[in-house]
Amino acid sequence: MKKGRKLGQIGLNILKELYEIGQEMARDDFKLPSVYRLPSDYHLPSRLRSLENGKYIDKSLKKNQSFFHLTPKGRLQILKYLHLEKFKLKKWDKQWRLIIFDIPEDFKKWREYLRRELKELGFHPLQKSVYITPYPVTGELDRLLLERNLRKFFRYLTVSEIDDEKELKKVFKIK
């Protein structure tokens, strides 16, 4: 995948399929079908190569068979997708979730990384170190912060009122 290129919908669908197969395989009564089919318009070999180049999956060979494994980056992408999908259909509970952070200059690259990740998780920047969302933040954010040992630099607030709420409702398409 080219640097800066976003994961396309088909690539995300393939990641979801890999995730769902893994979930099914964890069940005691799972029997792997002899052939697992994806829609023909997925162009699977090139999509898998793109996912591998983007470091969403790893490929290994055992006894002349290819095996694909989700990387931490691939798992995070799926979690982000599942997180956003979970809230798209829910009615807003009239609560805003604010993330406030103050990450030291020594961790500058992680600060920039987290800003991108917060946007991908559906947060909107109010200021450089203040982000907001109308959706409850589940474990995805905590996992992200703990993974990078940055939890101590963050505060999470739930607020019922905020000035200029109309503008934020437009941003999040809330009525």
Instruction: For residue 100, give the amino acid letter.
Output: I
User: Which residues are within 8 A (CB) of 76 and not within 5 positions of it... i.e. 6 or more apart?
Assistant: 117, 140, 144
Q: How does pLDDT run across 86-104, given as a tens digit for each residue? A: 555 467 889 999 999 999 9
Closest CA to 76 of 139, 154, 156: 139
What average pLDDT does the segment 102-116 reach?
A: 88
Neighbours of 60 (CB within 10 A): 9
| Cα maximum dimension of the chain | 62
| pLDDT classification of 120: cutoffs 50, 70, 90 | confident
pTM (global) more than 0.85 = no
CATH class of 90-171: alpha beta
SS3 8: coil
DSSP string, 65-96: EEEEEE-HHHHHHHHHHHHHHHHHSSPP-S-E
Sorted by where each begins, the domain ranges of the chain are 9-74, 90-171
Q: How does pLDDT run across 153-172, given as a tens digit for each residue? A: 889 899 999 998 999 999 88
Q: How does pLDDT run across 125-149, given as a tens digit for each residue? A: 999 999 998 887 766 677 777 777 7
SS3 27: coil
Q: What is the percent of the chain where pLDDT is above 70? A: 67
Q: 147-168: b or e for each residue (b if 16 or more CB lie within 10 Å)? A: eeebeebbeeeeeeeeeeeeeb
| pLDDT classification of 1: cutoffs 50, 70, 90 | very low
> What is the C-alpha separation between 150 and 101, in angstroms, rounded?
9
Query: In the prediction, which pLDDT does 19 show?
Result: 66
Adjacent-strand bridge partners of 66: 61
